[in-house]
Structure 1
Amino acid sequence: MKTIAFYNLKGGVGKTAAAVNIAYLSAQSGLKTLLWDLDPQGSTSWYFEHKPRSSFKFSKLVQKKSPVGKIIEHTSIDKLDIIPADLSIRHADVHLQRHGEDKTVSDWLKPLSEEYAMVVIDCAPNISRLSESIFDAVDAMYIPLIPTHLSMQTFEKIIEFFKDHDMKQKKLRPFFSMVDRRKSLHREFCQNPPVKLKKVLSGYIPYAADIERMGTAKAPIGAFAPRSVGAIAYNEMWREIKGQLKL
C-alpha cells in the first residue's frame, strides 16, 4: 500500500482539488483507493457529498478504542472510499499529547494495507502533532505552489521544519498549481524553477474554470469534464505520481 498526502501551510492553493482528483484517478486506474479528509474544513468530504461527522470522537481513534475501518464510507465511484472530515480533529493535538505519541497515523493505516493499494490524505494547512504524524507515515508529500515568491517562502518554511525535525526531505514533492500563463511571473517560475524546487513535478495544474466547476458539480473534474484542460493536467500529474511511487 502506498500513502501520499497533499499539504501546504497556506490555504487556497489547490490542495484539496488535487487530493480529490488524484484519488479519483487512482481509483479509475483500478487501484482500491482510500481518501482521508484530515482537514477540519471538510472540503474534500463536501465534494463527495459526505457530511463531516459530529458523533465520532477523534479521541477514540487515538486511544485505539475504535479502529479506523469503522469510519470508512463508500463513495459513488467504484474502488474509491472516503473517511469524511471529523469536527473533533480540531482537538487532535490535545488527544495525541494526552494519550502518547506512539498512536500515529502509520499505526492506524497498517490494518488497511490488505484492502487498499493507495491512501490519499488531504491535510489541514497547519503544523501540528497530527501533521507531523502524517509526514512520518506517508511515502510522499505533494505540495501545491502558486508560482510566486510568496509561495516559495512558504515552501522554504516546510523544508526548514523537516530539517529541524530530522524528517526525510526527499518526501517533499512540490508542484505548480493555479498557474495563469498570462502572468509573466508564472511563466518564468514554470520555465525556470528556483533551485530549491529541483524535485518539482514536470507538469502543472492550470488556473481553469473547469476546476472551479468541481464545486458546482460536487465531483472530480474527470467525472464531468474528462477532456478539459484541467482534467488533462491532473491526468499528467497522476502519471508522474504513479511513476514516482512505482505503481
Structure 2
Amino acid sequence: MQTPAAAFSSPLAARQAVRSGSYTGYTAALVPGYVQANICILPKDWASDFLLYCQRNSRPCPLIACSDPGDPRLPSLGADLDIRTDVPRYHVFRNGVFTEETTDISAYWRDDLITFALGCSFSFEEALRDAGLPLRYLDLGRVAGVYETTIETAAAGPYAGPMLVTMRPFVAADAIRAIQITSRFPNVHGAPVHIGDPALIGIDLSKRYRDVGDGTVGRGELPVFWACGLTPQMAVMRAKPPLCITHAPSCMLVTDLRNSSLATL
C-alpha cells in the first residue's frame, strides 16, 4: 500500500495527483487541516432509503454532502472535484457483492448515480495529535484498525447491518482526553461508542475487517472504539443494490473544507 512520503500543499494538489494516477494510497495525513470524506455512490432508486439510513445512524454515517443525480461534482466540498477520478481507489459492489477495485470509475458512471459523502475520523485524528495524544499507527504509515461489531444499526428500507468501528489505544488519562476532543466533532463520528473490553461488542482484536489497519494495544493501554464510515458497506451488502461504488478502506476523498469547520464549540 502506498503511503504519503510528504503531505501535499493543498487539497487540489492531492486530488490532481489522485486524478492523474500518480497517487493511489492511503489518505491519512495527506493534506493536514482538511476534511476527508467516505464515499457511497448509489442509483437514484436506492438513494432515498440510504439517506434515511444515514439520518438514523449519524454516528457511523455522518452525511456532509450529497450530489444531484448524474452529477459527478460536489461543489460544497471543492470547486475542482470530480468524484469519478478523485478517490485513490474505489470498491465496486454488484448485488451486494464486492466485485472489483479500480482507480477510476468513469466507465461505470451513469446519469442516475447519486454520491453521498460522509465525514471521516481522519479529521478528529488531527485534533488528537494537536493535543499531543500519541497515534503510533500514523507514525508507522498505517491507519487505525477496523472491526465489525455486534452493535446493530437502525434499519431503513433494505439497509441494515452491524456497526463497524475503528480502534485507537490510549492510556487511561489520554483516553479521557480523546473522548473530550472527539465529542466536539459530531460530523466526523464524534465521541467513542465503546471503551475497554472488545468482547463486549463482539470484537477479537486479532480479526480486523478486511485486515485493515493496526490492532496493537500496548501494555497499560485501553482500546477505544469509534464508529466507522465503512459501516455503509455492510448495509449495502445486505441491501444488494444492483450497483454501489464506495471508497476503498482508508482511501478517502480529500475536500476543500477545513477540519475546524466541522468542530462544535
TM-score normalized by the length of structure 2:
0.26
Structure (1 or 2) with the greater helix fraction: 1
TM-score by length of 1: 0.28
